[in-house]
Amino acid sequence: MGSAPGEAVLSAEGLTKRFGALLAVDGVSFQVAPGEIVGLVGPNGAGKTTIISMVLGILRPTAGRVLIGGIDVAAQRSAALERTNFAAVYTPLPGNLTVEQNLRVFGLIYGVKALSARIEALLADYDLTRHRRTKTGVLSSGEQTRVELAKAMLNRPKLLLLDEPTASIDPSTARDIRARIVDFAATEQAGVLWTSHNMYEVAEVCHRVLFLSRGRILLAGSPAELIKQHNAPNLEELFVEVAHEALHPAAGAQ
């Protein structure tokens, strides 16, 4: 059920979302290739979560379309989302189910074959075996993040969407999680769309960065290229500079 060789795992074509008078996303187009990690960065309100919501089929674009492995999400939602999964800092799994129960419920929803074996493997991979019968809500933030990532890997997605996956966790756990995701993308040849406000993290893991402001892609390129092109000391300084100019264009022009 993987994508055809060379085919993008994600294609966003002219994605636009308007909420009344507010144009949240304005004709955004981009692709994510197999094995590629793409960072979607930008200031608050730039449209990152709106784009992710449209990719996940929980928000209908005003215009444009999303193709996952060549399948149009609007036309064949279930088929497209079977090859997708996600983890987001603002969507914890139900805290009143145990770790194993959460994985089983979502494994059934994704139609995972040999589910029990897959759960065992993920519990081991994410150091969750001892927590399997613990209610998810009582775990620490780092442990909950690991459960969410284990859930996100259940169906071996060809497209993985991560919305600030390491927010509010300690640097050591964050490093561990980054390593797991990088390894997953490489071994499964999965495309990853990663949003984060941590520019050091983005520079470390992303092959390509899309800098978003006011619903548009302002900059695109590898972290190294962007830093070089804009003569910035690092990605964070570039972020601050571009975000300031995007939000205060008059000040930027002076």
Partner 1 sequence: MRASRVAAVALRYFYLVRGSPVRLLPMIAWVAIDIVLWGFITRYLGGLTRFNFVATPLGAVLLWDFLARVMQGITTAFFEDVWARNFLNVFATPITIGDYLLGLVLTGIVTSLLGLAAMLLLATSVFGLSFFAYGVALAPFVFVLFITGISLGIVGTSIVLRFGPASEWLIWPIPSLLSPFVGVFYPLATLPAWMRAISRLLPPSYVFEGMRAIVTGKSARWDQLAFGSVLSVLYLVAACGLFAAVYSYALRTGLIARYSAETAN
If DSSP codes are grouped into helix, strand and coil, which group holds residue 162? strand
Nearest distance from residue 172's CB to partner 1, in Å? 27
Question: Please, which residue, 44 or 172, has the CB nearer to partner 1?
Answer: 44
> 87 pairs with which residues across the strands?
162
What letter does residue 98 receive in the DSSP assignment? Answer: B
Residue owning tokens 């500079």: 241
Q: Which residues lie near partner 1 (CB under 8 A)?
A: 19, 44-46, 48-50, 53, 56-60, 77-79, 81-82, 86, 88, 90-98, 101, 104-106, 108-111, 135
Question: Please, which residue, 176 or 201, has the CB nearer to partner 1?
Answer: 201
Q: Is 95 in contact with 28 (CB distance < 8 Å)?
A: no
Q: In the structure encoding, which two tokens stand for residue 84, read together?
A: 């997708």
Nearest distance from residue 102's CB to partner 1, in Å? 9
Nearest distance from residue 109's CB to partner 1, in Å? 5
CA distance 161 to 194: 6
Question: Please, which residue, 152 or 209, has the CB nearer to partner 1?
Answer: 152
CA distance 202 to 223: 8
Nearest distance from residue 181's CB to partner 1, in Å? 18
Q: Give the 3-state secondary structure percentages of the chain, helix then strand then coil, rounded to 5.
A: 40, 25, 35
Question: Please, which residue, 29 or 78, has the CB nearer to partner 1?
Answer: 78
CA distance 62 to 19: 9
Nearest distance from residue 197's CB to partner 1, in Å? 10
Nearest distance from residue 46's CB to partner 1, in Å? 7
Question: Please, which residue, 71 or 174, has the CB nearer to partner 1?
Answer: 71
Instruction: Report the amino acid identity of residue 227.
Output: I
Question: Please, which residue, 151 or 208, has the CB nearer to partner 1?
Answer: 151
Nearest to 229 by CA among 220, 254, 38: 220
